[in-house]
Amino acid sequence: MSKAKAGIPNDEWELEKLRSNRELGVEYLKVALESLTHPDERACGLLALRSIAEACGGLGAVAAKAGISRESLYRSLSPKGNPTLKTLIAILKTLDLRLSITQAPKKKPARTSRKLAA
């Protein structure tokens, strides 16, 4: 019986793609950060930012450049993290990124059913 070659773990593959394609990383982060408005999905955005930070030199290096402790960065970018705006801006600035505001899509009004008078 021959042994199959082990593949690259998914997180290593993801980091390699993010390191080699800056535009991919930016688009990945844009989509993931949209989840920050949904409490049940908030971890996705934080973990995506963590992946970008890991791909850009590692969490220790990003924390040092951002002027925050490595432990604080790990906590902030964990699934239950809740970074302050100051921390978020410092991380993004270190990664040569910035926050941007856009108009949210308008919600369609709910349809109400009307009973026809007989």
pTM: 0.75
Separation CA 109–CA 101 (nearest Å)? 24
Q: Report yes or no on 4 lying in a domain.
A: no
CB neighbours of residue 91 within 10 Å: 24
Residue 23 lies in a domain: yes
Q: Is residue 3 part of a domain?
A: no
The predicted pLDDT at position 51 comes to 92
Domain-embedded: residue 115 = no
Residue 88 structural domain: 10-94
Residues 24-62 pLDDT 10s = 888 988 888 888 778 788 888 899 999 999 999 999 999
CA gap 111, 48 in Å, rounded: 36
Q: How many domains does the chain have?
A: 1
The pLDDT, as a whole number, for residue 69 is 95
